[in-house]
Amino acid sequence: MSEENEETKTSNEQQEMEEAVASPEKAEEAKLKARYPNLGAKPGGSDFLMKRLQKGGQKYFDSGDYNMAKAKMKNKQLPTAPAEKTEITGGHIPTPQDLPHRKTSMVTSKLAG
């Protein structure tokens, strides 16, 4: 039984190799899958597109968390996760010092120089 399985395994590998030679795209796909074994089957799913729709990424802020962190109380449980599973919440509570400065200077473009 196990011998048969090994034979089918080698013929599958052979077929993949032949495909890779015929199609550079498939060869690249094999390379990618080798580097990232946990990659999903195809990238066109809603998770992928949802990330694209968010572009810059949402910044979450909870004033309760913020105030409790400020008071240095141990926060045993983070607020319940939102309904949509694709949203990402950060573990770090931001403080004003952490936030990047909003751009304020409106310098003339170098193209006009």
Partner 1 sequence: MMAGPGGGSSDVQWCFSQVKGAMDDDVAEADIISTVEFNQSGELLATGDKGGRVVIFQQEPESKSQPLRRGEYNVYSTFQSHEPEFDYLKSLEIEEKINKIRWLPQKNAAHFLLSTNDKTIKLWKISERDKRPEGYNLKEEDGRYKDPSTVTTLRVPVLMPMDLMVEASPRRVFANAHTYHINSISINSDCETYLSADDLRINLWHQEITDRSFNIVDIKPANMEDLTEVITAAEFHPNQCNTFVYSSSKGTIRLCDMRASALCDKHTKMFEEPEDPNNRSFFSEIISSISDVKFSNNGRYMMTRDYLSIKIWDLCMETRPVETYQVHEYLRSKLCSLYENDCIFDKFECCWNGNDSVVMTGSYNNFFRMFDRGYQQDVTYEASRENSRPRSILKPRKISTGGKRKKDEISVDSLDFSKKIIHTAWHPLDNIIAVATTNNLYIFQDKLN
- The answer to whether residues 20 and 27 touch, using CB atoms and an 8 Å cutoff, is yes
Given the rule CB under 8 A, which residues bind partner 1?
A: 23-29, 31-33, 35, 39, 42-44, 46, 49-50, 52-53, 55-56, 58-61, 84, 102-103, 106-113
Question: DSSP string covering 92-108, please?
Answer: SPP-TTTSPPPP---PP
State in angstroms the smallest separation of the CB of 87 from partner 1.
11
- The answer to whether residues 54 and 88 touch, using CB atoms and an 8 Å cutoff, is no
Taking alpha carbons only, the member of 24, 68, 6, 86 closest to residue 77 is 68
- The answer to whether residues 61 and 92 touch, using CB atoms and an 8 Å cutoff, is no
State in angstroms the smallest separation of the CB of 5 from partner 1.
26
CA distance 82 to 60: 11
Is the CB of 61 or the CB of 79 nearer to partner 1?
A: 61
